[in-house]
Structure 1
């Protein structure tokens, strides 16, 4: 495992505290899964050791007996490292427990309104402290007694109306703040779990000036608002935040015109920084805006999807859709800074994560057997969002894209065209589906078609197709094309931007780690593979 995959937490353990019903166990499970650390729930451990439920312990030993058992458990588990500890609601009432849990720990209070807690606990019958005719009133009373302790904890995270993954993401932003340079030649790419925290200093380093413009995917803002706004606070004090809908329809001349108008309204200068936070749509659109307004404003990209982190946000391609084709109007324009933070991937919808894996698998086919084997061994951990594996996956795929871009930035030597592996077919399927297929889903099918075509043309054997298909299926990506006619697909391919001298130029794999550009003199091989 590389140095980048060795996550270095700022604390040796995470301690979750808060009222009953605040979500400590549920959030703790998420944290444990993302970190690969064990979760210890102090209440569950007390029950296990006692061989009795909590109501039974209270009935036989009263609360005082339960607290004795609780102190024993805390005393034993507190020194453990790389562990998540979910404490009982009253555990921090004990000064001894507070002292034992404090050293080296990230102490987090999961906050929730009493009404939220009451709703979560409505059907629970294992909370003896709430026994009686008015459990909601009792809950309010308990909260008032404990609030002064909870509110002194260094990290306060609101849980009302939020998904456990988003809560875990915000906690992990306090646990990590790493960054390391993947590239600083012509453009800077920084990777690190928690790298978003370094955004203000990176903006300052590139000597950008206000007013700043922050374009952000509406969904990302909704899911990660607390964490995002905290990191962006120094920037937004001297700038504006513009939520953008992440849809291919947003990549239009109309959307571009509206954003140009906003830049004009706030009197953006040529040194004003544009920060783009989102996936591939935002990277394409935001980069296009930055490249065209006043002939170029400094650009910072913060990609939030796997696909954008390993592909769309690296390499300087910008564009909007025109004439029914993707990215038909655009430019080559390098961002001053690209920050790759795997924490964004924790709240990424599962389908989007899988879509990004298609670009990762493409990168592995370009790179060689080592990366492909890494994915074969660790794919389930990626799908489970293990942070160390996610970070290593992003590192490897991003470095491949960076290396090729540095060799052939403007696609003059043909080297960069290798990144088009799977995309000639993929773009056709994507367009014919009217973008119901996600980009990565279409590319996954395109990778299979490219491998099948290579086999038909005698460039590779059947084992390559089988191995690619097997990994894509494990990633829960489609491997079979929708029922489009060969004529419809060929018509789309005829519009491909990589067409040269009236020939279709396809990137085909000979073996893992060896791909090449093959010009086709005839449509016959394409028709054959499209009929499969």
Structure 2
């Protein structure tokens, strides 16, 4: 006899994405207002070393803030400072250190882990939080453009393994996301511009008006004007949240439209030994897939020129020597493996409109690389 008992249920997820400035000033209650006031909470702070280097008073601020709001929460221990960047996702001892801290300091499911840092550190700490006690409440405090407008507002957490990005990970929504625009002031130019590529990505596949706005404000963004950057971050974050709330937020299928330009970007990061940062690699990946779309006859030369021009105005390099050879094609195969189904790549049929395809012509990819290289050489000649 065969007996089948079926279970079906739905679980709603809800979390705020907040925008503020100077969040650990003692009179700013946006952080403490996020906490569950029904019980006194313990908070484990994990901080990106790059942030503490740029903001040397931050650790003291965190401790003073906890004292000022001791009625509601206390620090579980001194804030833990970890290596920033992709190194935090490549070294398994780092996420295990966070897991060990949850054990040593009694961080349970009614406690909080608050991570302050760039996207890579937030990914890593999110993974540690998700696998400890089957999920500890995570407050993300992103400190880069890329993490504030893209990675930190989503539901993914991960570390790297086997030379592959995000091989270990979870889909676990955060408890809250808290963006402090003041952290952006100390970013170097590379990190300032890197996150803009994610905004261009979502604009190109979903919203022509947003792309046109970025195009019009590219010079101001390149000059590090804060007002347009704040508008870009909020608008981009909203578009990412709208996408997540739609179909398949945990990617049970094989479609990942918000990964436009990412199949090449992920491989390029690894091939360059992470010399090329994620946002920079995404810019190259978007340029590559836009060029591929042009060669397929889906977008016009004028459309492609607008895309390339925006990236150039912002200061991006759109070619890297690692694009050559068979390694890039291997990245396409690895991307399909990571999806866990048929290959699904987002390309452009118009500015502001993406279309999914399930195969890519390897010859056309190589022609796209060659065309990108020629764009770069022309730029070099102009500047020489």
SS of the residue corresponding to residue 313 of structure 1 reads helix
Task: Name the TM-score, length of structure 1 as normaliser.
Answer: 0.61
1:249 and 2:249 aligned: no
1:295 and 2:134 aligned: yes
1:327 and 2:155 aligned: no
C-alpha root-mean-square deviation of aligned residues, in Å? 2.3
1:218 and 2:56 aligned: no
Distance change in 2, residues 1:345/1:207 (3 Å): farther
Contact 2:272 2:322 in 1 (8 A): no
Following superposition, the deviation at residue 210 of structure 1 comes to 3.6
CA distance in 2 between counterparts of 1:344 and 1:361 reads: 22
SS of the residue corresponding to residue 32 of structure 2 reads helix
Q: What residue number does 2:5 align with?
A: none
CA distance in 2 between counterparts of 1:501 and 1:220 reads: 35
Distance change in 2, residues 1:323/1:189 (3 Å): same
SS of the residue corresponding to residue 495 of structure 1 reads helix
Contact 1:214 1:275 in 2 (8 A): yes
CA distance in 1 between counterparts of 2:304 and 2:351 reads: 11
Contact 2:20 2:180 in 1 (8 A): yes
Following superposition, the deviation at residue 250 of structure 1 comes to 1.6
Q: What residue number does 2:107 align with?
A: 268
Q: Deviations over 1:106-150 (max 9, x none)?
A: xxxxxxxxxxxxxxxxxxxxxxxxxxxxxxxxxxxxxxxxxxxxx
SS of the residue corresponding to residue 426 of structure 1 reads helix
SS of the residue corresponding to residue 516 of structure 1 reads strand
CA distance in 1 between counterparts of 2:39 and 2:30 reads: 12
Q: What residue number does 2:61 align with?
A: 230
Match of 1:190 among 5, 12, 18: 18
Moved more, 467-476 or 359-368: 359-368
Following superposition, the deviation at residue 334 of structure 1 comes to 0.7
Contact 1:187 1:336 in 2 (8 A): yes
SS of the residue corresponding to residue 198 of structure 1 reads coil
Contact 1:429 1:442 in 2 (8 A): yes
Match of 2:32 among 192, 198, 201: 201
Contact 2:344 2:358 in 1 (8 A): yes
Following superposition, the deviation at residue 486 of structure 1 comes to 3.0
SS of the residue corresponding to residue 271 of structure 1 reads coil
Contact 2:48 2:121 in 1 (8 A): yes
CA distance in 2 between counterparts of 1:199 and 1:529 reads: 47
Q: What residue number does 1:421 align with?
A: 260
The aligned runs of 1:11-90 (5 Å cut-off) are: none
1:397 and 2:233 aligned: no
Distance change in 2, residues 1:486/1:206 (3 Å): farther
Q: Deviations over 1:226-251 (max 9, x none)?
A: 35643553337432200111032221
Contact 2:222 2:313 in 1 (8 A): no
Q: What residue number does 1:308 align with?
A: 147
SS of the residue corresponding to residue 167 of structure 2 reads strand
CA distance in 2 between counterparts of 1:209 and 1:334 reads: 23
Distance change in 2, residues 1:316/1:323 (3 Å): same
Following superposition, the deviation at residue 341 of structure 1 comes to 1.7
Q: What residue number does 1:92 align with?
A: none
CA distance in 2 between counterparts of 1:299 and 1:208 reads: 17
Following superposition, the deviation at residue 318 of structure 1 comes to 0.3
Contact 1:285 1:320 in 2 (8 A): yes
Q: What residue number does 2:6 align with?
A: none
Distance change in 2, residues 1:273/1:513 (3 Å): same
Moved more, 348-357 or 236-245: 236-245
Q: What residue number does 2:175 align with?
A: 336
Distance change in 2, residues 1:256/1:185 (3 Å): closer
> Which runs of 5 or more structure 1 residues have no equivalent in the other structure?
1-183
Following superposition, the deviation at residue 379 of structure 1 comes to 2.3
In the comparison of the two structures, how many residue pairs are matched? Answer: 348
Q: What residue number does 1:17 align with?
A: none
> Which runs of 5 or more structure 2 residues have no equivalent in the other structure?
1-11, 68-73, 372-384
1:409 and 2:240 aligned: no
Following superposition, the deviation at residue 498 of structure 1 comes to 6.3
Match of 1:280 among 119, 123, 143: 119
Distance change in 2, residues 1:485/1:222 (3 Å): closer
SS of the residue corresponding to residue 262 of structure 1 reads helix
Moved more, 210-219 or 306-315: 210-219
